[in-house]
Chains A and B, each alone.
Chain A
Amino acid sequence: MDWSYIIASVLSPSVLLYTLGGIILGMFIGAMPGLSATMGVAILLPLTFWLEPSCGLGMLLGIYNSAIYAGGISAILLGVPGTPASIASTFDGVKISKRGEPTLALWINTFYSVIGGLFGVLCLMVASFPIARFALRFGPPEYTMVAVFGLSMMVAVSGKSISKGVFVGFIGMAVAMVGIDPMNGIKRFTFDQFLLIDGFQFVPIMIGLFGIGEALKQFAESPVSHTKFVKKLDKKDKVVISDFVKESKDARKHQSWREIWKAKWAFLVASVISVIVGAIPGTGGDIASLVSWTQCRNFSKEKDLYGEGSEEALAVTCAANNACIGGAMTTMLTLGIPGDSVTAILIGALMMYNYTPGPLLFSEHPDMVIVLFGILIVCNIMILFTGNLGSKLFAQFTKLPRSWISVTIIIFSLVGSYAIQNSVFDVIVCLVAGLFGFLLARGDFPTGPIVLALILGEMVESNFIRTMMLPPGTYSTFFVRPISLVLIILTVLSLFGPSVIKRIKKARNK
């Protein structure tokens, strides 16, 4: 192995420059709702053909890492997830920034994204083969149970009223049913409309629920906020608008070492879960961060704060979606199977450079593998610096008048929903979802369960039917396969565990 070559290719100025370019571009792509990491990497892929492999891959990995990180920025500041991987970051992030600490929330996003990302790279470096082999053992029965386990989280994300949560969850399920049925190719609820054949796109609904819904809510609420705006005359007697922040609570710019240390177990649990979820083909950052949020809540000492603006909860979700990258890269590099949609495109990029991902890559091109590890580490370090610089800038945004923020959210949401596949229909879907989201918020219904049902609904259905189509085709399949059985036990525990423990404690106190 030629270490001087490796160090020269990771740290050469041109590689660093292209990686930095990718990071900055990724930040824009990630923070903009509707533009996803997948789209960014796909569109820039042809541009990288003309670059040196390490430059091209540096740029693409830069976009990937940074877009997933930056999805959290809009989740925190606007309450709109920039990419689906940041859905769980909206639960607490927006509350922290609303209570007047946006800089702190953004710092948490940057810091935990980076250490989560580095944890993922570490797993990739030391344990890629065992992780990938484990991931391959997930067949239809295991996917069914992963999805059922995920759906059981509806209870956790329901907030105050579980029945309200489950109710909207079923609405989400009904929406997920529209379109071609995944197993038999039969069209359901399409009313002979070609636009409905593929069902509703997830991202416009997500942007609508979180973005437009949030903006409408702000219009409807009384205009009292922690910032007040007055017209003022400046020296040249021109009218300028300026804000009087009542009392700048934004004093805390970052967490102390003690606070970071306190969240160590939550961080570790979330990162391990996310590396595994990332490694399993077909599941990505959205599921990883939702599962991490729920599981960490179960173990956490500040359980009641989850969903109310807990710093630990935000940290967990931010670490989760970036740790997922390391997991997705393990299956991609060791088996040549994409761990998520972005790595599917990265396979194409590697092939272009004549590096075919798979076990042979490690024996034939070990240098390239280590260069990739190096680039991933560089990406995370770059995010730490650019992110912290950027955070101060982005945090200014929350000081704008509320109405401006609302209008910005609406513009971003509409442009974003159109950008996905250049379809006006998606814009309409986004608007309707927004109106629906607003009504839900008025009625004090949670939106989390709908999102879960939309992400997991089809996964349960198609994998359940697939399990039954495969021999032996009986329900016992779910109980005799070890991974599937463990998942069933976990589901039962997470549904009934808390109430059973409560009862036992009560009985003991008597």
Chain B
Amino acid sequence: MKKALAVLLLVALVAIPVFAQGGAEKFPSRQITIVCQASPGGSSDLNCRTIAPGMEQALGVPVVVENRAGAGGGIAMSYCASAPADGYTIAHLPLDIAQVEPAGNSDAVPSDFRFLARVSHHPAAIIVKADSPFQTFEDYIAYAKEHPGEITVGNSGMGAVWHLAACQLEQAAGISLNHIPFEGAGPSITALMGGHIDSICASAAEVRSHVQSGNLRILAVMSDERFPVFPEVPTAKECGIDVSVLCWLAFGVPAGTPDDVFNTLHDALKTSYESEAYQAMLASNGYTPGWMEPEEMQAYAEAEYELYSELIPRVLGYTE
């Protein structure tokens, strides 16, 4: 026992300096961590865990996923923003990065990061039960205009992405809805299926199985183009209401990461993104493949941040 321990210590003594030296020479030389802002089991976690194996193959070092949930993703984003800019910490950055600072959940903002790329997105949608009196999106809007505040619309929590999407719809259409918050999108779908609320605002991808099984109906998606899974569903823009809310998923590294490291990671991410396994995950979850190159993504994220910095305080009624 003691002998074994001594041998182990000796190996560690020799190994540590060797590995540490290696780090200075070539990137990557040790394990890379993808920090996921949500707990295991959700769409963010799945996105990270499916992208990791492909990057591992491309980079030749272990790529592991670490979940640091909390504060609507704010904990993980603050953590990553202050991590060393050496490329060994990759942040999973969904739309939430544009919202955590305005909501007061974190100090992190999109400019704290260099975006590696956007990988996918899925649009917000207005969904009703299959036996709902609202047959079309126009019906829904017309009724809401005549009866302000009467239609109940469930969301995944006040100030969360789908609530903000419903608020943007209200603003664009000039209507007023009765927002009912739930603890996540799942419970709101359940309440809709049970007939306890009239409609929900949620991800079109998240309800696709219920739509396919004929229990729910999507009235419209809030995106520029039609949602590939349900090409027959109109966009809000086609119905004359100018609103577009996409929930996007991207990856980034702390700002100040050197170019060569950045490019290595970018290429590895792209290889993994193009892999069969990753594309299969996107397809089976109804996420739209949405590769966006770094510069474009950076500008896009910062524009989203501007939008939500204005919207969130107004919606949540902050006076500051």
Contact = CB atoms under 8 A, between A and B. Distances in A.
A174 interface: no
Given A49-B277, A466-B180, A469-B178, A139 B41 contact: no
A38 interface: yes
Interface size bracket, B side: 35 or more
B105 A139 contact: no
Given A42-B41, A140-B191, A421-B69, 8 more contacts: A38-B41, A198-B70, A198-B72, A344-B186, A356-B213, A422-B68, A470-B178, A471-B178
B135 interface: no
B215 A358 contact: yes
Interface in B129-184: 150, 152, 157-159, 178, 180-183
A508 B74 CA distance: 64
Q: What are the 3 A-B residue pairs with the smallest beta carbon separation, nearest first?
A: A42-B40, A139-B196, A185-B158
Given A49-B277, A422-B67, A182 B181 contact: yes
Nearest to A184: B158
Nearest to B75: A194
A336 B210 contact: yes
Contact of B187 (A43, A136, A282): A282
A194 B213 contact: no
A194 B74 CA distance: 7
B40 A38 contact: yes
Contacts of B189: 337
A184 B72 CA distance: 15
B71 A197 contact: yes
Contacts of A337: 186, 189-190, 193
B49 interface: yes
A439 interface: no
Interface size bracket, A side: 35 or more
Contacts of B213: 336, 356, 358-360
B50 interface: yes
Contacts of B152: 469-471
Contact of A281 (B72, B159, B178, B186): B186
A423 B67 CA distance: 9
Nearest to B107: A194
A488 B215 CA distance: 31
B67 A421 contact: yes
B263 interface: no
B231 interface: no
A187 B68 contact: no
A46, A182, A344: most-surrounded residue (chain B CB, <10 A): A46
B104 interface: yes
Interface string A22-48: 000000000000000011011101100
Contacts of B284: 351-352, 354
B46 interface: yes
A41 B105 CA distance: 29
Given A38-B40, A351-B209, A470-B196, A182 B71 contact: no
A137 interface: yes
Contacts of B180: 466, 469-470
A335 interface: yes
Interface string A324-354: 0000000000011110010011011001101
Given A337-B189, A462-B183, A138 B194 contact: yes
A195 interface: yes
B52 to A, nearest CB: 8
A357 interface: yes
B275 interface: no
A393 interface: no
A303 B186 CA distance: 39
A240 interface: no
A197 B49 contact: no
10 contacts: A136-B194, A184-B181, A194-B106, A195-B70, A337-B190, A360-B213, A421-B69, A423-B75, A462-B181, A471-B150
Interface string A421-451: 1110000000000000000000000000000
B183 A344 contact: no
A507 interface: no
A183 interface: yes
A195 B214 CA distance: 42
Contact of B75 (A45, A195, A469): A195
B91 interface: no
Nearest to A342: B41
B279 interface: no
B307 interface: no
Interface of B: 39-41, 45-46, 49-50, 53, 66-72, 74-75, 78, 103-106, 150, 152, 157-159, 178, 180-183, 186-187, 189-191, 193-194, 196-197, 209-210, 212-215, 277, 280-281, 284-285, 316
A111 B236 CA distance: 57
Given A139-B194, A185-B158, A337-B189, A194 B181 contact: no
B285 A351 contact: yes
Contacts of A359: 213, 215
Contacts of A360: 212-214
A344 B70 contact: no
Contact of B41 (A345, A421, A471): A345
B31 to A, nearest CB: 15
Contacts of B72: 197-198
A356 B212 contact: yes
B143 to A, nearest CB: 14
Interface in A120-153: 136-140
Contact of B210 (A281, A344, A345, A358): A358
A46 B190 CA distance: 26
B106 to A, nearest CB: 6
Contacts of B69: 198, 421
B152, B178, B194: most-surrounded residue (chain A CB, <10 A): B194
Nearest to B41: A42
A335 B69 CA distance: 29
A281 B187 contact: yes
Interface string A138-179: 111000000000000000000000000000000000000000
Contacts of B214: 360
Contacts of A195: 70-71, 75
Contacts of A356: 209, 212-213
Contacts of A458: 183
Given A136-B190, A183-B158, A421-B68, A39 B40 contact: yes
Contacts of B103: 185
Nearest to A331: B190
Nearest to A182: B183
Nearest to A473: B178
Contacts of A338: 186
A469 B151 CA distance: 12
A39 B66 CA distance: 12
Interface in A30-77: 38-39, 41-43, 45-46, 49
Nearest to B35: A422
Contacts of B191: 139-140
B46 A197 contact: no
B230 to A, nearest CB: 14
Contacts of B39: 39, 42, 421
Interface string A239-278: 0000000000000000000000000000000000000000
B40, B158, B214: most-surrounded residue (chain A CB, <10 A): B40
